[in-house]
Structure 1
């Protein structure tokens, strides 16, 4: 193994862990914005809608990074599968949110936050750059 390969194998886990934590924190912020909206602050709606787009981009970026690590960096496949599930939940969230279907939007949001936190746990349990 060359020096560059060793450095790359050390960078992937740290990069993916940091990315998973940042996206999960953004997901928690999204829940705070939703809480503000449900408490009657319509300013929370703008924050919730804007951050929803940011969160969707973050989840897509995170999933792509896990896929690249899996394919080229020797990472595990499980985080990619979790990421694909999160993308599906995000699509449901965006659809039900724009159509104001709160009875579906809120429970799916809880699942999404749980999945994001599960993704963080997965990256810390299993080295993100190590072959499973």
Structure 2
């Protein structure tokens, strides 16, 4: 699990840097640097590819015994990023801006979590109700 955790950490950190660049590039564009819009678009187009690497790392982390919820959380985030690209190209800023803020916040939150010591804890195996009852009946 150690290797998969590190893969998850590193891939998510790279992805988070790309996500954090998005509002900076958008701000540069709004400040008059019109070339920044092209960089914002290019970086946004790269995000799904880096996102697939993060998703694969999250899946490997889960298979190796890590928590499963980060995989589900990241899959949801990845879908939101895909939607974000669509509304960005369509110039639907009423959705693009708040969704972008949400994506940045959730990406940073997940990135912070993956670097915490508790991320390295193995998940507990769940016992079925039947096994639990059998253990209670044994002397």
TM-score by length of 2: 0.80
**Cα deviations by residue, 1:65-111 (Å, 9 ceiling, x for unpaired):** 1012212x112111101111111211221110110111110110000
CA RMSD, 1 decimal: 1.6
**2:75 counterpart of 1:87:** no
**2:53 aligned partner:** 61
> Relative CO higher for 1 or 2, CA cutoff 8 Å, sep ≥ 6?
1
The CA distance in 2 between the partners of 1:14 and 1:103, in whole Å, is: 37
Structure 1: stretches of 5+ with no match in the other structure: 1-8
TM-score by length of 1: 0.84
**1:32 aligned partner:** 24
The CA distance in 2 between the partners of 1:58 and 1:42, in whole Å, is: 25
**1:6 aligned partner:** none
Query: Is residue 63–residue 79 contact of structure 1 (8 Å, CA) maintained in 2?
Result: no
Larger-Rg structure = 2
The CA distance in 2 between the partners of 1:38 and 1:128, in whole Å, is: 41
Point out 4+ residue stretches in structure 1 off by more than 3 angstroms.
Answer: none
State how 1:1-132 maps to structure 2 within 5 Å: 9-71=1-63, 73-125=64-116, 126-128=118-120, 130-132=122-124
- Could you tell me how far 1:130 is from its partner in structure 2? 2.6
